[in-house]
Amino acid sequence: NLPVTATDCAADWGGVLTLDETGIVRSSCQDDPTPRSVAPVLDYGHSVQVGDITCRSGHKGVTCQTDQGRGFTLSRRHQEAF
């Protein structure tokens, strides 16, 4: 599962997930997240690869994972690290 809320976060927690190339998933403290109107959209059925990380979007959510199979799934109902 994802890390617990940081006690020193005075802003929103958990709206942004990060995945590094080693497969570590982190939830972050965001005091000024990118507005949805300017954030890039990954349409259903599409994928994008950056380095060793691939993200795929589907009707059940977005899954991002490393080439080694570590990552996370994010949907409107839940967040899960694996």
3-state secondary structure the chain: CCCCCCCCCCCEEEEEEEECCCCCEEEEEECCCCCCCCCCCCCCCCEEEECCEEEEEECCEEEEEECCCCEEEECCCCEEEC
Per-residue pLDDT, averaged over 57-78, amounts to 91
Per-residue pLDDT, averaged over 42-70, amounts to 93
Residue 7, pLDDT above cutoff 80: no
Residue 44, pLDDT above cutoff 90: yes
Residue 11, pLDDT above cutoff 90: no
Residues counted in the chain: 82
Global pTM reads 0.69
The C-alpha angle with vertex 74 and arms to 1 and 34, in degrees rounded to 5, equals 115
What percentage of the chain exceeds 70 in pLDDT?
68
Cα gap 40→27, rounded to integer Å: 19
